[in-house]
Structure 1
Amino acid sequence: MTSSQSEPRARRSTGRAVNDPSAATSRGDDREDQVILLRSTLIVASGYALGAALQGAYIYSQFVTGWSSASLAQRLGANLIGVLALVVTLYLMRLHRETRAVVLAGGAVVAAAIAAAARYGAQLLIGVYDDPTPDETWGEVAGGFVIVLISTGIGIWSVHSRRAARSRIRAAEREAVHIEVAVRALEQEEVRVRRAVAEGLHGTLQQKLVLVEARLAALQQHVEAGDVDAEDVDDLRWVRAELDEARVIDVREMSRLLYPDRLELGLVPAVRALLGRIPASIATRLSVAPRVRELDDPAAGSLTTSERLLAARIVEEGVTNSLKHGPAASIEVSLDAVDGVLVVTVENDGALYDAALAGAASGTARLAQRVSLIGGTLTLSPGASRGARLEARLPLGIE
């Protein structure tokens, strides 16, 4: 590859990095943390520097015999050099990026030592001390070290306080977005169910009622004319059969779109009712952990109606997939609860599931989105040797 070919690619890569919102946010946070650390430390250390200069130039010169009589400007200048050394050291060390307490403590000690040494060197250079005694030397170095260490500690605390506040604000923003997405998803689900019910009413059920009405109209004419025969009796039987089928199949199926059978009695009865509708040629098995039975007890359980409804929808989706894409000879459903998480599993022994061949199932995708909104997961994977396995992990509101 020539350099002319690699350069545009590098530029494109750089452009992507620049336009990456997460990268820009990270860089902005880094700059903000650095400014907070340096500014906080500078303000506190400068205050200490001014106070120490006033103390040394006035109080000690007035009341301590033999103390150095250096001017306020000399002392303040030496102290400000120490402050400048501290700020430069913190800038070069990039201490604002650290989160480990040991590294922060060690960095603060190193920065304080460098700044204290710079301050004392400036005092000797400017002429605050001509020939300092050992006590004066250790007093100035130790005092400067402690002051600078405190200033650095306050700066580090300011950074971490701001970082914690920033995290809380962003968590609140994410929660607000999460709630908005959840509301939209529920609205979309409501629209989908309403559309399905409307299509059922205006489709199959309406067709049957139109045919039934036509037969009844013909029968009415025959009865009014007094010309009733055996065919009319057959028509009555047909009308009765059609109405019964509409009641049992169409109306009940549409009602199940809104609310599964026996859900008010609990999740387990609802799942049993669902499995009971499967053709007898397909073997079914339901495994329920004792903990689930406790949680699902209508009298003293803690499963909410929304949790039961979502779990029942997941079982229904797994059973539907088994019947559509199997074909399965057996379907096994298991319900378990582990560490405040309801685990719903639907397995079948049909053809081995292949994601590349199966494609994306719209129903499963919608359920996966709903489950993710409550912090759960929904996965569809191949079985151990045959079929498919649909597993959902739903966090429960258990204290």
Structure 2
Amino acid sequence: MRRHDLVADRLILLRGTGLVAVGYAVGASVQSAWIYSTLVPEWAQVDLWRRLTANGVGVLALVVGLGVLGAHRAQGALALTTRMLAAALLMGVLRVAVQVALGVHPPDDTQSLLAEAVVGAFIAFVSAGIGVWALFSRRRMRVATRAAERQAVSVELALRELEMEEVRVRRQVAEGLHGTVQQRLLLVDARLAKVQERVADAAPDVAQDIVWARAELAESRERDVRQMSRLLYPERLEMGLVPAVRALLGRLPTSIATRLQVGDELRSLDDPSQVGLTVAERLLAVRVVEEAVSNALKNGPPALVEVRLDLVGDELQIVVSNDGNPYVPPAAPDPESGTARLDRRLRLVGGGLRVVGRLPTGARLVATMRLGVAPDEPTR
């Protein structure tokens, strides 16, 4: 058991036992003073403070005894019961001794002294039992809390592993598209160019078909393959979130104005040379901006798209606004839409996403994601 757990256990046991015992001691003193003054006039001369002092010494003896005997460290019911009995007997004996010293009971009244010792030991044992109950309740609560914390950490670690794996796969596929697939398309184009030269005079119609096929290949290579590569792994993501978002906005038509605002704290954190945003966090944030921009183009087109990135506490806040057509919330939200999927993904990291209307027209997407200290993806 950890050292600070033992200290906490000892404090709970002694505090619980002491509070219950003090309650018994004060109540018994007041009750005894009233009963003796009413029913036994010859004992009415015993002051209340003497009874309180004797019982107070007994409570102190009980608490000190439990602490010295290490009842909070006891392993097993027998060891714990033995230490509780020893502390209870110590209280009973010291309480009677102080009563005799202060004149609460005469020293030759053996029957009364024995009764006081037995009652005191019994009350002490009951008080210690309540303290032990409080101790065990605290231990069960501590075990349950730590189990919940371990489960939460396990879930978070599993999520981080999935994020890292997603980034790795996306990067590999994007590199494959950008490298291998483009290279093969270039080889096919070179081969078609040779065929075109050979049939240019003999079969002009075939040559024209080859020209068309080469043009389609070039367009597919420049547009489809590159676009797919960017969707899988955004440009400049390795350089940071801000460069990646700026590259994304740079691909918009020139008829749409863009504005990017970044908070100073986020600029400092978004330094790839330091332990800041992980690649997985950057990728998720870029996906949020990409989704907002895509929706703006589909529902617009807007004349202006504004993106604001900022750090609020330990959360990254993403706000994307546009001045396109007025936003009309769907009557029945599609759980399979890109926005809904991103919202579920953000909730896994303690964030969320919502889309609201913007005055006088347009829409605003607001997303948050909690940033955690997690190891970045392994280098390949």
TM-score of the superposition, structure 2-length normalised? 0.58
Deviation at 1:319, TM superposition (A): 1.0
Q: Secondary structure at the match of 1:70?
A: helix
Aligned length: 287
Whichever residue aligns with residue 367 of structure 1, its letter is L
Instruction: Please give the alpha-carbon distance, in whole angstroms, between the structure 1 residues aligned to 2:273 and 2:133.
Output: 57
Aligned-residue identity in percent = 39
Residues 283-315 of structure 1, C-alpha deviations (whole Å, 9 max, x = no match): 322222333333334445733322222211111
Superposition map of 1:64-143 within 5 A: 66-70=107-111, 74-75=115-116, 77-79=118-120, 82=123
Whichever residue aligns with residue 168 of structure 1, its letter is R
Deviation at 1:53, TM superposition (A): 4.3
Inter-CA distance 75–48: structure 2 relative to 1 (3 Å threshold)? farther
Deviation at 1:80, TM superposition (A): 5.8
Inter-CA distance 369–47: structure 2 relative to 1 (3 Å threshold)? farther
Superposition map of 1:354-393 within 5 A: 354-356=329-331, 358-393=333-368
Q: Secondary structure at the match of 1:331?
A: strand
Deviation at 1:348, TM superposition (A): 1.9
Deviation at 1:341, TM superposition (A): 2.6
Q: Would you say the 8 A contact 1:335–1:344 is kept in 2?
A: yes
Instruction: Please give the alpha-carbon distance, in whole angstroms, between the structure 2 residues aligned to 1:393 and 1:379.
Output: 9
* More displaced 10-residue stretch of structure 1: 266-275 or 298-307: 298-307
Q: Would you say the 8 A contact 2:170–2:233 is kept in 1?
A: no
Residues 149-176 of structure 1, C-alpha deviations (whole Å, 9 max, x = no match): x776665455334423331222212332
For 2:255, the equivalent position in structure 1 comes to 281
Instruction: Please give the alpha-carbon distance, in whole angstroms, between the structure 2 residues aligned to 1:375 and 1:81.
Output: 53
For 2:240, the equivalent position in structure 1 comes to 266
Residues 46-80 of structure 1, C-alpha deviations (whole Å, 9 max, x = no match): 5433334466789999xx98253238974564236
RMSD over aligned CA atoms reads: 4.8
Inter-CA distance 331–54: structure 2 relative to 1 (3 Å threshold)? same
Tell whether 2:268 aligns with 1:294.
yes
Q: Secondary structure at the match of 1:389?
A: strand
Instruction: Please give the alpha-carbon distance, in whole angstroms, between the structure 1 residues aligned to 2:219 and 2:164.
Output: 32
Give 1:343's match in structure 2, choosing from 311, 317, 333. 317
Instruction: Please give the alpha-carbon distance, in whole angstroms, between the structure 1 residues aligned to 2:218 and 2:291.
Output: 27
For 1:48, the equivalent position in structure 2 comes to 87
Deviation at 1:354, TM superposition (A): 0.7
Tell whether 2:273 aligns with 1:312.
no
Q: Any unmatched runs of 5+ in structure 2?
A: 1-11, 18-70, 73-79, 375-380
For 1:330, the equivalent position in structure 2 comes to 304
Inter-CA distance 67–236: structure 2 relative to 1 (3 Å threshold)? farther
Q: Secondary structure at the match of 2:254?
A: coil
Q: Secondary structure at the match of 2:231?
A: helix
For 1:256, the equivalent position in structure 2 comes to 230
Whichever residue aligns with residue 267 of structure 2, its letter is R
Whichever residue aligns with residue 147 of structure 2, its letter is I
Whichever residue aligns with residue 343 of structure 2, its letter is A
Instruction: Please give the alpha-carbon distance, in whole angstroms, between the structure 2 residues aligned to 1:225 and 1:270.
Output: 45
Instruction: Please give the alpha-carbon distance, in whole angstroms, between the structure 1 residues aligned to 2:327 and 2:98.
Output: 89
